[in-house]
Amino acid sequence: MKVAVVGATGLVGTEMLRVLEERKFPVDILLPVATTKSIGKELVFKGQEVLVVGIEEALSQYPDIALFSAGGATSKKWAPEFAKVGCTVIDNSSAWRMDPHVPLIVPEVNAHVLTMDHKIISNPNCSTIQLVVAIAPLHREYKINRMVISTYQSVTGSGMPGVMQLENERKGKKGEMAYPHPIDLNIIPHGGDFLDNGYTTEEMKLVDESRKILGDQSIGITATVVRVPVFGGHSESVNLTFEKDFELETVLSILSNAPGVTVLDNIRKNEYPMPLFAKGRDEVFVGRIRRDHSQPNSLNLWIVSDNLRKGAATNAVQIGEVVVKLK
């Protein structure tokens, strides 16, 4: 089994290597791919030193699976080339997510749609992944009519530039700005690029990707994306309105038994999900579960997950595990 990781030296690529090793993914030959300046560098994988190669070299080795995390332009250009040689590409960029011929996969929710014929598979946006893991079992039971989402997203979602801006500001150092404003001691209601409709690209990803993964274009969804000065993961305040009414005890039972979900909801002990405790974990944590008394059939949830793990690297590797079973 030859596995290529394209973008292996980036934040998500590094995490992909870690998750492949942790989950004992069946890698016989690893092909870490990076830009020209990193070619020839050594990475350690499973205790062995592995040389970083260029993307053309990796392609010439005919990998079985390629995990891409090198940006949309790279994915658009190279994913089809890898697919042509029989490689299954799992792409972490937004390049293919809304292509009607490319499945958008969160294994706990819709792994059943994958077949051997799918040679390009899209990994959803980090905030979408944790959202649908939590709400999909509730949608199946009660049918979501409307969803209001406010996110509180870690600087790690902006890659190393976001991390460096926060670290520099905390040290009083000047450096490159990933955001149009300071992020330390601040929150910025701006993720992605602004569109003509007044929303941002990150907000519309939550709308479009959630509908595609859940297979339901009828759900009314509105979102506000906010960047916050934390490292450990993304948080989401989610308000759901269902077609059918619910019992809170049943909702708790559904979430407690949902794959990939950990319920953390004990207000008497001040226990609820926080990025501080989600960092380095693969679960989607759900808490502050309560009925919305202002609207019939409505529920409030607080959802937290490590955006580099389940929100990116772990989800991609889990898709790879499904692909291996199909092979």
173-188 tens-digit pLDDT: 999 999 999 999 999 9
Q: b/e per residue, 20-59, with b = 16+ CB within 10 A?
A: bbeeebebeebbbbbeeebeeeebebeeeebebbebeebb
Confidence at residue 200, expressed as pLDDT on a 0 to 100 scale: 98
3-state secondary structure of 158: helix
Measured in residues, the chain has a length of 327
Q: pTM, whole model, 2 decimals?
A: 0.97
The residue type at 234? H
- Over range 117-134, report the average pLDDT: 98
Name the CATH topology of 128-307: Dihydrodipicolinate Reductase; domain 2 (3.30.360)
Going through 75-199 in order, the beta strands assigned E by DSSP cover 88-91, 120-122, 144-153
Rounded percentage of the chain residues whose pLDDT exceeds 70 = 100
Q: What are phi and psi of 214, to 5 degrees?
A: -80, -10
**pLDDT for 327:** 83
Residue 272 has a pLDDT of: 98
pLDDT tens, position by position, 233-262? 999 999 999 999 999 999 999 999 999 999
pLDDT band at 129 (very low <50, low <70, confident <90, very high): very high
Angle value at C-alpha 241, between 238 and 242, nearest 5 degrees: 125
Question: Which pLDDT value is given to residue 273?
Answer: 98
Cβ atoms of residues 70 and 91 within 8 Å:
no
> Which residues belong to CATH 3.40.50.720 in the chain?
2-123+312-326
Mean per-residue pLDDT over the chain, rounded? 97
- For 180, 189, 225, 232, 301, the CA distances from 207, given in Å and listed in that order, are 24, 17, 12, 24, 17
Q: Is the Cβ–Cβ distance between 50 and 109 less than 8 Å?
A: no
| Predicted pLDDT at 102 | 98
Cα angle 42-43-46, degrees, rounded to a multiple of 5: 135
**Residues forming the active site:** 126, 234
Digit-coded pLDDT (tens) for 275-318: 999 999 999 999 999 999 999 999 999 999 999 999 999 999 99
pLDDT per residue as tens digits for the range 100-119: 999 999 999 999 999 999 99
Identify residue 105 by its one-letter amino acid code: I
Whole-number CA gyration radius for the chain: 20
Domain with CATH 3.30.360.10 in the chain: 128-307
Superfamily (CATH H level) for 2-123+312-326: NAD(P)-binding Rossmann-like Domain (3.40.50.720)
Condensed to tens digits (0 to 9), the pLDDT of residues 141-197 reads 999 999 999 999 999 999 999 999 999 999 999 999 999 999 999 999 999 999 999
Residue 123 CB-half CA count within 13 A: 31
Is 90 exceeded by the pLDDT of residue 43?
Answer: yes
